[in-house]
Structure 1
Amino acid sequence: MISFELSDQQQQIKEMTHWFAENEIRPIAMEADKQEKVPDDWLDKVNKMGIHLNTSSFSGGGDKDSSGKKAKKEREGNRMGVLATEEMAWGDPAVTLSLPGAGLGGPPVESSGTPEQKERFLSIFKNDEPRWGAYALTEPDAGSDASAIRTTATKVDGGYILNGQKIFITNGACASWVVVFATVDASLGRSGQRAFVVEKGATGFSCSRLAEKMGLRANETAELVFEDCFVPQENLLGGEALYETSGSKPSGFQVAMKTFDSTRPIVAAMAIGIARAAYEYTLDIVKHDYPKQGDFFRMASELLGECEQDIAAARLLTWEAAWKADLGLANAKEAAMCKAHAGKTGLDICAKCLELLGPTGLDGHLVEKLYRDVKVFDIFEGTNEIQHLVIARRQYAPHGIRV
């Protein structure tokens, strides 16, 4: 039987991050949205407090047998991550994504990097100066279909030459390094893909522009360009040995997919935090400001009851995906399910709350901002259509049916 009671350590993490979200994140969120930037002095302060955005707790479940025989010793890192992330996103998702740390670049380095690469690229976040990592997969013609990337990696003496373009990269301009996916031979499809760590200042590597966005405006989203960008051999993630392993033919594509199994529950937790913030704000207004009788109050109460129900369902799906990752079990289907459900739930709840609040919820109010922020959560880390395809493939795979 699964216990739904949080351990003492998990409860402490939840309470601590909620305190931080309420007292440090929420007070700066609206102004950061208007200015489209998180204040530098605030980032310096939280970095000195040791608070970072790290999503590298994934224990490498992949597509292993889920019978339990191959499960690793139980950990709590992924569950801690989704608990903390929900609270931080409740404070504000854009500010949360702007926190210093390895961010989405952490999981591929942690799961596929050599010991030397892990030490070199992850140790920089212990510095007194705020630093960021980033993850660059999406291209103008390769978004949901990650196998279609066209950024090239040409082998040369001492390393590789990268040419191509990446778009919609979170913290891409400020990052000290970016995990970049490229192909050594497009005709090989997924097998030709490799993952590289490209460091800031590398010749031929530049940020061409920052995107103007409807939501998450305080967090930068960059377009990156690689023009004859030299990447040394030691920055090939995992080294040549990773891609020469016999049997499973590992590639950069597998590295990317393994990353999603870790980060999709984190994205789901953020969507849940946003939904909860909108729900609690609206519930508080309905309880205190609206007449306690009549059809409207009854209708509002029913809608808010549905919101609470949907938040709880999304949270349980997310906890299951994180729990399986902590045990080292295959969680690709669960990660896709929680991400798809939480993204849709967040958007639906923010829309319902806006409808209930009417003009009160518009023109710079919290719920209006949350509605703008939450839309992307059914798009990035794979659209909901892609999540449903991932789920379907794993439904049919035991029967030998390809989707």
Structure 2
Amino acid sequence: MNLENPKKFKALVNQAQQVANEVFRPISRKYDLAEHDYPKELDMLAAIMDGMNDGDINGGAGAARLSKKKSGDDNGVRNGANMSTVLGLTELCWGDTGLALSLPRQGLGNAAIAAVANDEQLKRFQNSWAAMAITEPGAGSDSANIRTTAQKDGDHYILNGEKIFVTCGERADAVVVWATLDKSLGKAAIKSFVVEKGTPGMDVTRLEHKLGIKASDTAAITFTDCRVPAENLLGNPEVDVKKGFGGVMETFDNTRPVVASMAVGLARAALERTKELLKEAVAQDYTTPINNVSHVEAELYRMEANWESARLLTLKAAWMADNGQPNSLEASVSKAKAGRTCNAITMKCVELCSSLGYSEKELLEKWARDSKILDIFEGTQQIQQLIIARRLLNKSSAELK
């Protein structure tokens, strides 16, 4: 098979590749060594990146709604904002994943807004840079265990709790906070709220020191009697026990293919650079059976095959979203495959390149460090496999834990 990217996105992909090559790569090591320094070079790119979503008013990385196209619609297939976001971020993360996560108005919180906000909220927050706050000290990948509370008080909600590992939590204009309206009702009562920067009661308590993606700030935020306007609750304020997470979980159907695309871009960078460094010793001609080539050459072929499968699964999940097809299973499949593949490829590339791979003379060691988070955030490898099993076996979260 020879599956090509939609031709209408050629200019977008070329533009993103140019940014990755001419802006991200030259400053990649600088901000890896200067953790928590804001990459000022990115400010000039903000306006350019606003157009990465094909004119969609939602904006932001992964900020594309599930298309409302119905089965039987004879308007043909669609390649829209989900596909453009995935293709664009693949190229940007070929340059630098931490810098891609630091782009103004491209926060993961924008995906939450796009997934569940009503039309008025979409318009009101369309120019905001939104981070997403889900993880808590006692609730990591198990989002149903969230303990941050939101209590109705007239025209406001009062938020109390703590969030950790909030990507761009200090820099963003707003934070999309997941909180429960009633702990006794379980996950059905969890809603998301847009809390704008400077709101009294919201405090950034620390910035984390991390293994990788150091250009991106990762914050811990506390909410102490933080009053948020009721109109900042995204989507429907009613609690529907039968629906469960409902629209809130649609966020992950958007963001998991996005994280998968980041992994695809980073893995491609490592694979391409490794082949360049080894080209004098390893000549790949693709004509000799894999059992009759050197160990290193065979490893390169296996990595290429795994990378291609991750790429195609990611494109499938994005395409389904653009065409109104429920993609919860495919979103988790793409994220699980791409995250694990990226981590395996970058580590193997460091190994194959020996001292060059392990030193700071090359970006390979940085890419290996950056890759690990792509297998963790937006749901760990283990959580993705659990979700996939539930979908395939038609089991609920209560039936299969």
Q: Same fold (TM over 0.5)?
A: yes
- Cross-structure match for 2:55: none
- 2:31, 2:39 within 8 Å by CA — same for their partners in 1? no
Structure 2, unmatched stretches of 5+, are: 53-58, 285-290
Q: Does 1:388 align with 2:382?
A: no
How far the C-alpha of 1:245 sits from its partner, in A, is 7.8
What CA distance in whole angstroms lies between the structure 1 residues aligned with 2:161 and 2:276? 49
2:351 is the alignment partner of 1:355: yes
Q: Distance in 1 between matches of 2:135 and 2:122?
A: 24
Letter in 1 for 2:342: G
- How far off its partner does 1:9 sit? 1.2
Question: In the alignment, what sits opposite 1:4?
Answer: 3
- Cα offset, 1:49, TM superposition: 3.9
1:128 is matched with which residue?
none
The answer to whether the 8 A contact 2:62-2:85 is kept is no
**Aligned pair partner of 2:318 in 308, 319, 322:** 322
Whichever residue aligns with residue 266 of structure 2, its letter is I
State yes or no: 1:20 paired with 2:25. no
CA distance in 2, matches of 1:218, 1:358: 26
User: Which sits farther off after the overlay, 141-150 or 71-80?
Assistant: 71-80
Q: Corresponding residue for 1:59?
A: 65
Q: Bigger shift: 101-110 or 42-51? A: 42-51
Indicate if the aligned counterparts of 2:115 and 2:254 stay in contact, CA closer than 8 A. no
Alpha-carbon displacement from aligned partner over 1:328-359 (angstroms, at most 9, x marks no partner)? 11100000001001111011111111111111
2:191/2:248 contact within 8 Å kept: no
- Take 2:209 and 2:133, find their aligned partners in 1: how far apart are those partners? 18
Q: How does 1:304-383 map to 2 (within 5 A)?
A: 304-364=300-360, 365-383=362-380
TM superposition shift of 1:144: 1.1
Match of 1:83 in 2: 87
Asked if the contact 1:55/1:262 (under 8 Å) is kept, the reply is no
1: CA distance, partners of 2:265 / 2:249: 24
CA gap 1:144/1:4 in 2 versus in 1, 3 angstroms: same
Alpha-carbon deviation of 1:112?
Answer: 1.8
Give the structure 1 partner of residue 287 of structure 2. none
Are 1:244 and 2:248 counterparts? no
State the shift of 1:31 in Å. 0.8
Match of 2:288 in 1: none
One-letter identity of the residue aligned with 2:126: L
Letter in 2 for 1:140: P
In structure 1, what is the Cα distance between the partners aligned to 2:314 and 2:71?
A: 19
Larger mean CA deviation between 393-402 and 114-123 belongs to 393-402
* Percent identity for Structure 1 against Structure 2: 41
Provide the C-alpha distance between the structure 2 equivalents of 1:330 and 1:18, rounded to a whole number of angstroms: 30
Q: Distance in 2 between matches of 1:301 and 1:344?
A: 21
Residue aligned with 1:122, SS: coil
The separation in 1 between residues aligned to 2:343 and 2:122, in whole angstroms, is 37
Aligned length: 385
Task: Note the 1:236-315 alignment, pairs <5 A.
Answer: 236-238=233-235, 242-244=236-238, 249-250=242-243, 253-288=245-280, 290=281, 298-315=294-311
- 2:170 is aligned to 173
Give distance in 1, aligned partners of 2:310 and 2:22: 26
For residues 40-94 of structure 1, the C-alpha deviation after alignment (integer angstroms, 9 at most, x for no partner) is 43022212545578125433269x9xx9348997342211111111110000100
Mark the CA change 1:167 to 1:12 in structure 2 (over 3 Å): closer, same or farther: same
Q: Report the counterpart of residue 127 of structure 1 in structure 2.
A: none
User: Which segments of 5 or more consecutive residues in structure 1 lack a partner in the other structure?
Assistant: 125-131
Counterparts of residues 26-105 of structure 1 (less than 5 Å): 26-37=25-36, 39-50=38-49, 54-60=60-66, 68-69=71-72, 74-105=78-109
What residue number does 1:129 align with? none
Q: Letter of the 2:354 partner, please give it.
A: G
Q: Residue 218 of structure 1 corresponds to which residue in structure 2?
A: 215
1:111 deviates by: 2.7
Task: Give the letter for the 1:361 counterpart.
Answer: G
Partner of 1:150: 147
Alpha-carbon distance in structure 1 between the residues aligned to 2:201 and 2:189: 22
Letter in 1 for 2:185: L
Q: What is the alpha-carbon distance in structure 1 between the residues aligned to residue 62 and residue 397 of structure 2?
A: 33
CA distance in structure 2 between the aligned counterparts of 1:157 and 1:117, rounded to whole angstroms: 20
Q: Is the 8 A contact 2:38 2:215 kept in 1?
A: no
Residues 230 and 250 (structure 1 numbering): CA distance in 2 closer, same or farther, change over 3 Å?
farther
Check the 8 A contact 1:21/1:90 in 2, yes or no: yes
The offset of 1:260, in angstroms, is 0.6
Q: Per-residue deviation at 1:257? A: 1.4
CA distance in 2: counterparts of 1:72 and 1:167, whole angstroms: 44
